[in-house]
Amino acid sequence: MRFGSVAFFKVLIKTVLCIAFFVPLVLCVIFAVVLWNKSAQLEQMQNNTSLVEELQHENAVLSSKVELLSGKSSTVEDFYKLYADSGLSDKELMDYLAEKNGTVITDPSVQTGGQPEKTDETSENIETIETADLSDTTDAGDVPVTAPVSEYESIHTDMTVRVPATFVREEGTVYLTFDDGPSENTYSVLHYLKKYDIKATFFVVPTRTEECYAIMKQIVDNGHAIGVHSTTHEYEQIYSSVEAYLDDFYEAWMMIYEATGVKTEIFRFPGGSKNDFNGATRDAIIAEMTRRGFRFYDWNVDSNDAGGATWTDMYTSVPQDIEGNYRSIVLMHDSAPRINTVYVLEDIIKALINKGYKFDKINNNTQPVQFIGPYA
Ligand SMILES: [Zn+2]
């Protein structure tokens, strides 16, 4: 084939056509392959992003778990709030606890120390935890949760009660409360309350005597509420530490139980929840008592009988102070020196009945009046 011949041009044209047709085709294939690879990589990256997000979520859940169980939940409410915030399912919590403790949290009769059983008893488990945290069970060995929720939990382990989560706040109700008894005055107080069919509340300072036990039993038999005030009523001693407070409280709580069969859920701090002696310890004491399920009640009407109020003082001031309140928790005393309280009680009751007030004892669902705390 000669350069410039017809055959040469035929070959040339064919070659040019081939190049014009195949080169773009090959390029297209190459680009398609490259693009396919890129899109696969992109997909992979997206997958990685969701993996990262998933991991972050897992971490958040895990940190909630850790927080939930690391003792930050100093109260029952804290515990349930943290639990709710953690987004954990019942089963996840159970599995986590089982993993953490190396135990299976289940019916105490099936308690083991081995691997967690993957069964669907989770809702029952949560109930077990509630019961363990709040119940008045005296068998500490049944408590299935071993993660510490308080540094004080080993003290008087049987001293826990259950109170309702919601409280009642009755308008126009007067809650008469008597502190520092029992004494011989308590009989008179009980007499007047019975005469007008009124229920009241006694925050006692009990002693291990037959007389004291008999009066406490009568308080309960007459349908009144009984709560812990103190064993010693020694401010400096009981407010020196959480342990000291718990010891003092436990003594009184047990005496009430022995005398009446009542494991009371209510109490009143000597001097009220905010006083000159508990500045350093009150937050920790309140947190621990709340964790154990107890509720403290301060007052919004002070008869001032402990301050030496006369008959006239009290007869004037108590109904007057009650008048401005939505409902009233009235502080009085049935200890031996407060004889004026006995003298004026019937007249105050009559005056309040005439004004249309109703009376009640403090039940465990009565919303407290608290100088410090959630119900100020
Ligand atoms: Zn007192």
pLDDT, tens digit, 9 for 90 and up, residues 164-174:
878 888 999 99
Q: Tokens 């159970």 label which residue?
A: 94
Long-range CB pairs of 152-158, under 8 A, 24+ apart, other chains included: 152/242, 152/243, 152/246, 152/288, 155/243, 155/246, 155/247, 156/246, 156/247, 156/250
How does pLDDT run across 52-105, given as a tens digit for each residue?
Answer: 777 676 666 666 665 655 555 555 555 555 555 555 555 555 555 555 554 443
Distance 50 CA to ligand 1 centre (A): 62
| CA 271 to ligand 1 center in whole angstroms | 6
Give 342 Cα–ligand 1 centroid separation in angstroms. 17
Q: What is the mean pLDDT of residues 294-315?
A: 97
Reported as a pLDDT band with limits 50, 70 and 90, residue 201 is very high
> Cα separations (Å) of 102 from 22, 107, 115?
69, 16, 7
Environment class of residue 273 by beta-carbon count within 10 Å: exposed (0-12), middle (13-18) or buried (19+)? Answer: buried
Q: How far is the CA of 189 from the centre of ligand 1 (A)?
A: 17
What is the per-residue pLDDT for 352?
Answer: 98
**pTM confidence score:** 0.62
State how far the Cα of 137 lies from the Cα of 131, in Å rounded to an integer. Answer: 8
Residue 128: which of 113, 116, 115, 143 has the closest Cα?
143
Q: Where are the alpha helices (DSSP H) in 105-264?
A: 122-134, 184-195, 210-221, 235-238, 242-260
Gap from CA of 157 to ligand 1 centroid (Å): 26
Which tokens sit at 189?
Answer: 């107080």
How much distance in Å is there from the Cα of 298 to the middle of ligand 1? 11
- CA of 204 from ligand 1 middle (Å) equals 8
180 CA to centre of ligand 1 in angstroms: 5
> Ligand 1 mean position to 224 CA, how many Å?
18
Element (H, E) at 34: helix 6-69
pLDDT at 157 over 60: yes
Instruction: Report the candidate in 324, 282, 332, 290 with the shortest Cα–Cα distance to residue 307.
Output: 332
Distance 76 CA to ligand 1 centre (A): 27
Closest CA to 286 of 12, 3, 74, 52: 74
User: For residue 140, which of 126, 123, 155 has the smallest C-alpha distance?
Assistant: 155
Distance in angstroms (rounded) separating the CA atoms of residues 218 and 88: 48
Q: How far is the CA of 43 from the centre of ligand 1 (A)?
A: 72
Helix %, strand %, coil % for the chain, to 5? 50, 10, 40
The pair phi, psi for residue 329, each rounded to 5°, is: -110, 115
**Spacing, Cα 341 to ligand 1 middle (Å):** 14
- Quote the ligand 1 centre to 229 CA distance (angstroms): 7
Average pLDDT for the chain = 81
What are the tens digits of pLDDT across the range 321-375?
Answer: 999 899 999 999 999 999 999 999 999 999 999 999 999 999 989 999 999 766 6
Which superfamily does 173-359 belong to? Answer: Glycoside hydrolase/deacetylase (3.20.20.370)
Q: How many CB atoms lie within 10 A of CB 192?
A: 18
Q: Do residues 370 and 296 touch, judged by C-beta distance below 8 A? A: yes
Dihedral angle sign, alpha carbons of residues 228, 229, 235, 239: positive
The kind and range of the H/E element at 61 are helix 6-69
Longest dimension (CA), the chain: 143
CA of 230 to the centre of ligand 1 (A): 8
Q: What's the CA-to-centroid distance between 209 and ligand 1, angstroms?
A: 19
Across the range 29-46, mean pLDDT stands at 78
Q: Domain coordinates of the chain in residue numbers?
A: 1-66, 76-142, 173-359
CB 140 within 8 A of CB 158: yes
Q: Which long-range contacts (CB under 8 A, 24 or more apart) does 213-219 make?
A: 213/255, 213/258, 213/259, 214/259, 215/181, 215/182, 215/186, 215/187, 216/182, 216/255, 216/256, 216/259, 216/260, 217/259, 217/260, 218/187, 218/190, 219/182, 219/186, 219/190, 219/260
- Under a CB-based contact definition with an 8 Å cutoff, are residues 337 and 309 in contact? no
| pLDDT reported for residue 62 | 60
What distance in angstroms lies between residue 205's CA and the mean position of ligand 1's atoms? 8
CA–centroid distance, residue 268 to ligand 1 (Å): 8
Q: Which amino acid belongs to residue 241? A: S
